[in-house]
């Protein structure tokens, strides 16, 4: 499989996937020496951590030919004061170029988009490749859900492993943590935590990426890289996982012609099913508001969505 972009997120994703020890990984970046050096470093960790050194770095796409999955992380990261949407025009051209080159070498692959603004970049990748919606999917919901699960675990003093949650909508400040579907060890969150505390966790989740940008001066990478690797697992190993991913909707949830975060069944063919949850009226209204925000960003794309 291939990871495009050898920055923090791409290199972390490549390392996580390499550690699973089931795939040959090609790390691609336009900067000479960067993907080769990071690949070599990841390979040399293999004997210590117990995986085979099968990561290669490249400045071109020839070595990526025949990939089952291509993860695109390329693009400029956020800086303090920037929203994800501020990146749209710059990263549109980068993602167009990367998706086109990768698709030419691996015409049967599943594309996993990580570049921001995520929802809009999924539209870019799908349009430039002309691929069906099943094979162009975005990584956002797993990351946003992981952040929410972390806050819930801290608030309840529970193991994060026992927190089940789902975050839907656009990958921005109007994402929708589905409180009605959130449980700790099977117990509804609303029975464990007061409403005002839940709302604080919801808000912190929505601003989770921005919080890290303000602290670090750049975007997060450990959790995003791990989230991308979980999607690669589901596809390469045909796991049929039900995961929150950014998928192209054609009427599901009452939304048509738009990439949005929803639960999907993810397997070898990519998005094999879109799962429709029973949402409360308030949650459905929030999802509508989120979809309107995403349409606004998609409308900024120079080549259309």
| Rg of the chain on CA atoms, in Å | 18
Q: Which of 135, 171, 241, 265 is catalytic?
A: 171
Residue closest to 74 by CA, chosen among 15, 119, 116, 103: 116
Question: If 0-12 CB within 10 Å is exposed, 13-18 middle and 19+ buried, where does residue 35 land?
Answer: buried
Number of H helices, E strands in the chain: 9, 14
Q: Is the peptide bond before 117 cis (omega within 30 degrees of 0)?
A: yes
CA distance 17 to 232: 8
Angle between helices 222-236 and 8-20 (to 10 degrees): 40
Angle at 11 between CA 223 and CA 88, to 5 degrees: 70
Distances (CA, A) of 62 to 12, 20, 94, 105: 22, 24, 18, 7
β-bridge pairing 256-267 and 270-274:
antiparallel
Q: Is 171 known to be catalytic?
A: yes
* Contact assessment for residue 82 and residue 213, using Cβ atoms and an 8 Å cutoff: yes
Instruction: Catalogue the active-site residues.
Output: 171
């Amino acid at each position: 499989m291939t990871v495009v972009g050898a920055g923090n997120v791409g290199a972390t994703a490549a390392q996580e996937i390499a550690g699973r020890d089931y795939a040959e990984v090609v790390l691609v970046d336009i900067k000479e020496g960067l993907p080769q050096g990071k690949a070599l470093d990841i390979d040399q960790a293999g004997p210590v951590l117990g995986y085979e050194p099968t990561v290669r770095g490249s400045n071109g796409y020839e070595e990526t030919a025949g990939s089952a999955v291509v993860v695109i992380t390329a693009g400029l990261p956020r800086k303090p004061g920037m929203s994800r949407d501020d990146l749209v025009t710059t990263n549109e051209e980068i993602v167009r170029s990367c998706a086109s080159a990768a698709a030419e070498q691996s015409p049967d692959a599943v594309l996993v988009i990580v570049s921001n603004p995520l929802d809009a970049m999924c539209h870019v990748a799908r349009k430039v490749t002309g691929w069906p919606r099943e094979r162009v999917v975005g990584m956002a919901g797993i990351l946003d859900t992981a952040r929410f699960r972390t806050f819930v675990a801290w608030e309840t003093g529970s193991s994060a492993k026992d927190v089940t949650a789902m975050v839907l909508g656009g990958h921005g400040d109007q994402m929708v943590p589905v409180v009605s579907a959130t449980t700790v060890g099977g117990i509804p969150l609303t029975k464990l935590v007061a409403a005002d505390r839940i709302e604080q966790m919801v808000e912190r989740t929505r601003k989770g990426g921005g919080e890290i940008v303000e602290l670090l001066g750049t975007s997060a990478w450990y959790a995003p890289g791990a989230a991308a690797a979980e999607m690669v697992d589901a596809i390469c190993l045909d796991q049929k996982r039900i995961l929150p991913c950014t998928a192209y909707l054609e009427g599901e949830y009452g939304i048509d012609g738009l990439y949005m975060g929803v639960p999907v069944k993810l397997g070898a063919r990519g998005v094999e099913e879109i799962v429709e949850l029973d949402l409360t009226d308030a949650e459905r209204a929030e999802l509508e508001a989120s979809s309107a925000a995403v349409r606004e960003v998609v409308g900024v794309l120079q080549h259309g969505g």
